Amino acid sequence: MNLTYKNIIVAIDGSEEAEWAFKKAVEITKRNDAELHLVHILEIRTYPSDAASIKQRAEKRGIELLDRFKKMALEQGLQKVDTIVEFGSPKVTITKKVAPKIEADLIICGATGLYAVERLLIGSVSENITRSANCDVLVIRTQKNEE
What is the residue-wise DSSP string for 72-117? HHHHTT-S-EEEEEEES-HHHHIIIIIHHHHT-SEEEEESS-S-HH
CATH domain 7-146 topology = Rossmann fold (3.40.50)
Percent of the chain at pLDDT > 90 equals 57
pLDDT string in tens for the chain (147-residue length): 678 999 999 999 888 888 999 999 999 999 999 999 999 998 866 556 667 788 888 899 999 999 999 999 999 999 999 999 999 988 899 999 999 999 999 999 988 655 555 455 445 788 889 889 999 999 888 765 444
pLDDT at 108: 95
pLDDT digits (tens, 9 = 90+) for 100-140: 999 999 999 988 655 555 455 445 788 889 889 999 999 88
Domain boundaries, the chain: 7-146
Q: Pick from 107, 92, 1: which is nearest to 43 by CA?
A: 92
